[in-house]
Chains A and B, each alone.
Chain A
Amino acid sequence: MGMLNYIARRLLFSLALLLGVSVILFALINAIGNPIEILLAERPGVTEEIIQSVSQYYGLDGSVTDRYFTWLGNLLRLDFGTSIIYNQPVGDMLWTFGLETLKIQIPGILLALALAVGASVLAATRQYSRIDFGVISGAMLGHSLPGFFFGIILILIFSYWLGWLPSYGAYSTRNLLWDSELADGLWHMVLPVGMLAFFNTATLTLLLRSSLVDVLRQDYITAARASGLPERRVVMGHALRNAVIPVLTYLGILFGLMLGTAPVTETVFTWPGLGALYIMAIQQLDYPLIMGETMIITVMLVGATLLTDIAYVAIDPRIRLG
């Protein structure tokens, strides 16, 4: 019961959050005036009537509050409107570009989790050794290295100098090396996923190592050792399972960070995802697209936070619901 109550409260807060973000952004976009006027200004042959009819077509006439509620009403029916620049339904675009974004982010974070577990176990079981020091230093360096700069270095080395991997895009326009589309897609994913995994591994390792060091000092670990369990089972079975819990909540935050900085990642790799689309949208003042993008990114972010929160509570019975 407590669980359901908790989830309901979080959902309510998330809903309020979405509304808040949409109101702020909608007000800001409308504060600059009619985007059609700005976009079409000083084009030859554009008359007042043309501006008016185009504005009407995109639903830009009427008062701001009216428009906001129209937009909100359409949103509830999952109608995000039509992109001004691309003249396509925003919903379809978000779906296509969103999949591309998730295609690099989910492998990026899963790979990072696996790598971080390996590195932390290696370091925490040998506390204060050279390996431990190396892992901590490496993680600290990686944590401070701006992800997009690391991406630039990856491109420089693997695309330009060695020529092994493509430097941009998600697909080849002409298949030069691979026959199958799948192989071609994977080939393009290597660098972006590598960059995201690198950044996340560093942060997760810092967290997981210190959590694991803490757990390994607990009495029940000593008890497990005293009962004659092999060290491997003590670490992997007993210690790791408990050490991972605080790190799990951080996965949501990391995912949010990745999603929030997707514009940067996708600019570096010219990746056709939500981030690159967002840059286009705000450069071109494509307001249905800006609104739709912000909503979908906020929903994904809030969803990730909510999911990790619930997972946290579900996994660890010691956590009391607050």
Chain B
Amino acid sequence: MEGSIALAAPPRPPGIWRQGWFRFRRNRGGMLGLVLVGLVVLVALTCFLVAPYDPNDQSAMLRGASRQGPSWAHLLGTDRNGYDVLSRVLYGAPTALAVGLGAMLIASILGTIIGGIAGYVGGMVDEVLMRCAEFFLVIPVFIVILAVVRLFGIMVVGTALERVPHLNLMTIIALLGLFGWPPIARMARAEFLRLKQADFVEAAICIGATRRDILLRHILPNALPSLIVLVALGIGGAILAETMVSFLGFGDPKAVSWGQLLYFNYESLKVAPWGSVAPGVAIFVTVLGFNLLADGLTDAFNPRLRQ
């Protein structure tokens, strides 16, 4: 009798990712977010084909046609430098994604390592690392980033670094990453702390799994769903932060970014509002997409949070 039960192996239950996807699919907000993010990614991949003009084409200015309102030739008008606004906005998408993904890649690697060590090792190490995280959480990050971008820009003058293309943009990405890890580290710590005592981890220890296997194959994959939510939120946040840095005039003058567009066109808001409104809407759609996506992911992976 007992033997027959053991023989009938139960069908393998769907994993956390499949389960999450089933729940995510039913979430209208999350799906809308996925569509918006998909749209931005699509634009970023195809802007070279779709954009009607070259992003650096200023010929409209030579024709005296800068600050022209939307027309068939320029669907979103031209800005004060004679650029075609639509083309510039489309070409801003790859920049935005590079900033968001680059910054969060750095932040999530740092955060997972620091948080993971703090949670798994515990004790004094945990205390020190979490104090560090708190330090980075409380300082006025945006203010510090502005100063560092400006000062770093002066420091590289006359060195070999000066010739690196898009150095300014890369500095911003690196800074956003360096200052963006604490929330991820806190979550990683909590997850590693929780999973360390999970039954399946104890089972893995019992069968003699190495510490490396336990950390990378048993704990990390199970911590990922919670971390993904923060990464999605962080991508939107990083894009917004880069936009604000650029809007204040500390961005990369050679990069085509939405913040740069706002910076250059804000002065002529009164005569050519399309130059400011179009990139603003692009930022809004992107940030909204990532926020909704993060919201949907929270519901999908932590269903108990919302009844």
Contacts and interface: CB of A to CB of B under 8 A. Distances in A.
A301 B248 contact: no
B210 to A, nearest CB: 35
Contacts of B134: 13
B140 A256 contact: yes
A256 to B, nearest CB: 7
Interface string B228-261: 0000000010001001100111100000000000
Interface string B138-152: 111111101110110
A38 interface: yes
A135 B139 CA distance: 32
B248 A28 contact: no
A209 B41 CA distance: 32
Interface stretch (A81-89, A143-151, A175-183, A190-198): A143-151
A240 interface: no
Given A28-B148, A290-B147, A146 B283 contact: yes
A160 B268 CA distance: 12
Contacts of B250: 282
Contacts, number: 116
Interface string A138-176: 001101111011001101100010000000000000000
Contact of B143 (A38, A263, A305): A263
Contacts of B174: none
Given A17-B135, A141-B288, A259-B140, A148 B148 contact: no
A13 B130 CA distance: 13
Interface stretch (B91-99, B159-167, B269-277): B269-277
Contacts of A263: 142-143, 146, 248
Interface in A276-305: 278-279, 282-283, 285, 290, 293-294, 297-298, 301-302, 305
B151 A29 contact: yes
Nearest to B141: A260
Contacts of B269: 152, 155-156, 160
Contact of B144 (A21, A32, A152): A21
Interface string A294-322: 10011001100100000000000000000
A222 interface: no
Contact of B138 (A17, A278, A279): A17
A261 interface: yes
B243 A146 contact: yes
Interface residues of B, number: 41
Nearest to B266: A152
B129 to A, nearest CB: 15
B292 interface: yes
A252 B29 CA distance: 28
A282 B154 CA distance: 11
Kindly name the residue among A143, A146, A152, A267 whose own CB sees the greatest number of chain B CB atoms within 10 A.
A146
A287 B43 CA distance: 42
Interface in B193-249: 236, 240, 243-244, 247-249
B78 interface: no
A143 B144 contact: no
Contact of B155 (A21, A31, A156): A31
A294 B131 CA distance: 21
Contacts of B37: none
A44 to B, nearest CB: 21
Nearest 4 CB-CB pairs, A to B? A144-B288, A149-B280, A260-B140, A260-B142
Interface of B: 29, 131, 134-135, 138-144, 146-148, 150-151, 154-155, 236, 240, 243-244, 247-250, 262, 266, 269-270, 273, 276-277, 280, 283-284, 287-288, 291-292, 295
16 contacts: A38-B154, A140-B292, A145-B287, A149-B280, A152-B280, A256-B140, A261-B142, A261-B244, A263-B142, A263-B248, A264-B244, A264-B248, A278-B143, A282-B151, A298-B139, A301-B139
